[in-house]
């Protein structure tokens, strides 16, 4: 979410709370880095914005050498590629519709083989997140929601101190931390 236009408008607790509420609804968390990079209007909106708030996309919500995802709903598992079928011949991908389900199945089937998939996903995710951050305003916050222990989000070189770990159950504290990170005042 880009915050703008460039102005001296204050980020009040009420506004910060609404921003956070919008970002934490499950339907807002289907986006992956591919969707953001494919947004033809991102450059213009980023130019006009004074900052951004981005929920870090799940590591698995991106097309890669192992599987493809839907272009807009990056949480949708579209198809297993030959490399994944060869690595996991014991998995039936026909019944899998979501990336989280696919990756959980792979991690549960064989953690060692899954480590190969995770390594590739992490490298691609970092590369694409760096590209995305280059297109966004300098001032911003990366909201880091809890992720499965078997699929953590790696650090992004150059992210600086923008990452903010958020507990979705404690929205008041999260909204205050977000407001502070974006330059608001503490009460």
**Secondary structure (DSSP) of 72-96:** S-TTBEEEE-HHHHHH-TT--GGG-
pLDDT of residue 11: 52
| Residue 46 banded pLDDT, cuts 50, 70, 90 | confident
The first and second tokens of residue 90, run together, are: 């014991």
What residues does each domain of the chain span? 2-181
Higher pLDDT, residue 102 or 174: 102
pLDDT of residue 6: 44
Q: How many residues in the chain?
A: 187
pLDDT of residue 187: 45
145-183: pLDDT as tens digits: 888 888 889 999 888 878 888 887 887 888 788 878 877
* pLDDT higher than 50, residue 7: no
Q: What is the mean pLDDT of residues 78-82?
A: 97
CA distance 162 to 181: 8
pLDDT of residue 18: 58
* Mean pLDDT over the full length of the chain: 83
pLDDT of residue 76: 92
pTM for the model stands at: 0.83
């Amino acid at each position: 979410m880009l915050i703008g236009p460039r102005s001296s408008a204050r980020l009040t607790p009420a506004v910060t709370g609404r921003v956070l509420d919008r970002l934490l609804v499950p339907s807002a968390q289907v986006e992956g880095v591919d969707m953001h990079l494919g947004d033809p209007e991102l450059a213009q909106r980023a130019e006009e914005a004074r900052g951004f708030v981005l929920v870090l996309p799940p590591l698995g919500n991106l097309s890669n050498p192992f599987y493809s995802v839907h272009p807009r709903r990056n949480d949708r598992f579209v198809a297993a590629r030959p490399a994944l079928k060869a690595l996991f011949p014991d998995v039936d991908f026909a019944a899998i519709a979501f990336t989280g389900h696919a990756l959980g199945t792979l991690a549960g089937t064989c953690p060692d083989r899954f480590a190969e998939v995770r390594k590739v996903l992490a490298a691609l995710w970092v590369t694409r997140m760096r590209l995305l951050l280059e297109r966004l305003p300098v001032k911003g916050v990366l909201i880091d929601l809890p992720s499965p222990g078997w699929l953590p989000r790696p650090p992004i070189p150059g992210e600086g101190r923008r990452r903010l770990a958020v507990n979705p159950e404690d929205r008041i504290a999260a909204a205050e931390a977000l407001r502070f990170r974006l330059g608001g005042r503490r009460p």
